[in-house]
Each structure stands twice: as C-alpha cells, then as structure tokens.
Amino acid sequence: MVNRSRWRRAFDALFPYACLLCQLPSENNKAICDACEVELPWLGAHCQQCALPLPPGSTAIHCGKCLQRPPAFARCLCPLRYDFPVGGLINQFKHHGQLAAGALLGELWLEACRDRLEAAEPELLVPVPLHWRRRWQRGYNQAELLAEQWSAALKIPMLRAAKRRQWTSAQQGLSANQRRQNLRKAFAVLQPESIAGKHLALVDDVLTTGATAHSLAAILTRCGARRVDIWCLARTP
C-alpha cells in the first residue's frame, strides 16, 4: 500500500496533468495529451476578417459576406472550429464552472495565435461583457477570464470598456433585422476617453454569426477606437 502510493506520487510528479478529453496522463504539461491535441478541429483555410471556414485549399483572403458587407472589426484571430470536442470543452467552461477547460483553450489560443500578432498587436484587450444578471448567475464572465489570461501572457492591458445594458436572452427566434436593432441598444461604452485612438482586441469565447462582435466593434469605433480586432477560441462554420 505504502509502495503503491509512493509510485502514484512519483507518477503524478512526472505527469502532473491528465488530459481533459481522454483522462490519460498528459506528457506535455498541458491538460491535453499530444494525441488528442493533434485531432482537435483546427481551423484550416478561413476568411482573414471574420474567420469563417473556407473550402479546403481555398486561397481567398475574404469570404463573400465580408467582401459584400465588411464587418466593423478588422481581423479575427481564432485557432479552432466550433466542432466536437471543442464545443463540449467550451460548454464545460461556460456553463459548468470547469475553469480548467477554459485555461487549456486559452493556452491553445496563445500557442496558435501569438506568432500571428506580428506588428499588429492591439493596445488593449476588451472582454465582451455579460449582462450583470447573467454574470451573477454564472459567477464569472468567461470572456473576462480569457482576457485576463492573455493579458498576463502578452503584457497587453485589459480594460472592461463596455457593458451589456439589456438582458438579450431572447436573441434566438428573432429576425436578422430585429436582432440587429436589439443589439444596437444592447451595449454601452464605459470610459470612452480610455479607448480613443486605440487599437483594441475584443475577447470572446465563440464567434457565431459575428453580429454581436460587429455591433460592439461598431459602437467602440464610434466612441473613438482606431481599430477593433476579435480574439476568440472557436468559430462556428
């Protein structure tokens, strides 16, 4: 028994992390093993502006939608497709208090995207806000946790520059037009003086239609931001 627990301790010291997906010891100091990491739904060819997946082998820079009606944000940095098992990890992070899943996804983002910042590094990270009621229910804002992690790793300050004014739980089931109107009223910018002339990155977990990101980027631009990018974990196809 004594020997066994000693073995166990030695084993845990060698492999301190278990893979969140297959539960086997991870060999790389991350909460995911190499085999599971390779198989994640990495984003292949995608639109440089909104990260929408493009057909494999496509050399297009923008998707048709961004060419016709460009969104208010300049660029989206996103490493993954919102697909199995990333959807499950994000769901665990957002709705079940599994902060380790969020920390892992944040780390994967850094590994995949920090080299793509090049000369276009933003000056401030702005988490997409939650309405206070939802934040209170959940106990945290997942976008804020990601922004904190990336802010510490990249030494770029984080600023809660916006707040969600209304309870927009009823977005589903609305027409695109109603949705846009709803979103236009949904956000308010706090301290516009601290974003004036600045290049910002809006941080969120998932980019779905891009409507929320577009509305928020438009409001921040109207309040004086010079450029707004989107940083997120996963893009829905």
63 binds Zn ion, rule: CB under 5 A: yes
54 binds Zn ion, rule: CB under 5 A: no
| Two tokens, residue 115 | 């080299």
Q: Tell me the window of 55-63, 136-144, 173-181, 183-191 that interacts with Zn ion (CB under 5 A).
A: 55-63
50 binds Zn ion, rule: CB under 5 A: yes
Residues in contact with Zn ion, total (CB under 5 A)?
11
Select the residue interacting with Zn ion from 40, 41, 43, 49 (CB under 5 A).
49
For residue 221, the one-letter residue type is: T
66 binds Zn ion, rule: CB under 5 A: yes
Give me the least distance between CB of 182 and Zn ion, in Å please: 22
Residue in the block written with tokens 């992390």: 17
First to last CA, the chain: 52
| Residue number, 21 or 206, with CB nearest to Zn ion | 21
Q: Which residues, other chains included, contact 214 with Cβ-Cβ below 8 Å and sequence gap of 6+?
A: 71, 72, 73
| Two tokens, residue 17 | 């992390």
33 binds Zn ion, rule: CB under 5 A: yes
Distance CA(14)–CA(29), nearest Å, equals 10
Give the dihedral sign, CA 12/14/19/23: negative
Whose CA is closest to 73, among 59, 52, 90? 52
Q: Tell me the window of 60-68, 86-94, 130-138, 212-220 that interacts with Zn ion (CB under 5 A).
A: 60-68
| Residue number, 52 or 202, with CB nearest to Zn ion | 52
Binding site for Zn ion (CB under 5 A): 19, 21-22, 33, 36, 47, 49-50, 52, 63, 66
